Amino acid sequence: MLTKPVILITGASQGIGEAIAKAFARQVRGVRLALVARNKANLQRVARACAKLGAVAEIFRCDVTDEAAVAAMATAVLARFERVDVLVNNAGKFAGAPFTEMPVADFDRIVAANLRSVFLVSRAIVPGMVKRERGDVFNVSSIAGLVAYPGAGAYTAAKFAVSGLSKVMRVELKDKGVRVCCVYPGGTVSPSWAGTGIPDERLMPAEDVAQAFLDVYRLSRRTVVEEIVLRPQLGDL
C-alpha cells in the first residue's frame, strides 16, 4: 500500500494546490488524493482531472479555519482512506492594506486562513503519522514569509509564523518518522496573481512549484529537505 500513498491537499481547488494534485496523479501510480477546499465546484473539476490521470480522487469541502469543520473533515478522510501519508497545508488567502488602515477583522481572517489552518489541519492529521512512525508534512509559506512586503502586514506576519510553526513541528517530529518541509514560493501563475498586471512570463509556472513537492517526497527517508525557496528567474517577486 506504500506504493499507493494518500495525499491530503488543502487549498486544492485552484493554483498551486491544483497543480500539486495533478503532479501526484500523473507521476505516482495509484495515488489516492483527498482534495480539500471550500469551493465544491472547483474541487469537483480538479478531482475529475486527477481521475483521468489515474488517481483515486475524493473531495472534502471544508473551511480549514474552523476547528469543528477540520475535525469532521479529518474523520471523513480517515473513514475513506484509513490514513494520510502526505499532508500539504496549502490553503491561504491574501488581502493587502497598510497595517495602520487594515481592519482588525481582515487581519484576523488573513491570519486564520494562512496560519490557524496549518495548525488545525496538522493537529488533526499528524498524530496518525506519529502512530505509524511515517509521514510527510509540507507547510506552504511564501516569499512574504522571508521578506517584508509593504501593504501586506497580516499576510507577511502569518507567513513568517508558518515558518516558525514549521520549525517547531520539525524539531518535535524528527525522531518520530515524520518529515516537515516549509516551502516558500514566489510569484506563481495562479488566480491569486490575476489582475495584478504582472505578465505570466515574470511568474513561475504552478507546475514547476508542484514538481518540487513531489521530488522532495521521493527522497529516501534518511533525508529531509527542511526548506525550499522558489522564485521566478526573471523577477524579484
Share of residues in the chain with pLDDT > 70 (%)? 99
> What pLDDT, on a 0 to 100 scale, did the predictor assign at position 151?
87
> What pLDDT, on a 0 to 100 scale, did the predictor assign at position 198?
84
pLDDT tops 90 at residue 162:
yes
| Residue of 149, 155, 184, 217 marked active site | 155
Q: 115: Cβ–Cβ under 8 A, 6 or more apart, which residues?
A: 158, 161, 162, 165
pLDDT in tens, 109-138: 999 999 999 999 999 999 999 999 999 999
> What pLDDT, on a 0 to 100 scale, did the predictor assign at position 61?
98
Output the pTM of the full model. Answer: 0.95
Hey, what's the cell of 179? Answer: 518529515
217 is catalytic: no
Handedness of CA 157, 19, 225, 186 (dihedral sign): negative
Higher-pLDDT residue of 207 and 152 is: 207
Strands 56-61 and 178-185: unpaired
pLDDT tops 60 at residue 1:
no
- Using a 10 angstrom Cβ sphere, with 0-12 exposed, 13-18 middle and 19 or more buried, the burial of residue 43 is buried
> What pLDDT, on a 0 to 100 scale, did the predictor assign at position 3?
65
Q: Residue 20 half-sphere exposure, CB side, CA atoms within 13 Å? A: 34
Beta strands in the chain (DSSP E): 6-10, 32-37, 56-61, 86-89, 135-140, 178-185, 227-230
pLDDT tops 60 at residue 176:
yes
Q: 85: Cβ–Cβ under 8 A, 6 or more apart, which residues?
A: 2, 5, 6, 7, 129, 134, 135, 136
How many C-beta atoms lie closer than 10 Å to residue 222's C-beta?
5
Q: Under a CB-based contact definition with an 8 Å cutoff, are residues 206 and 13 in contact?
A: no
Distance CA 162, CA 93 (A): 13
Q: Which domains, from first to last, does the chain contain? A: 6-230 (3.40.50.720)
Mean of the pLDDT values across residues 102-115?
A: 96
Which segment, 91-105, 134-148, 195-209, is predicted with the most confidence on average? 134-148
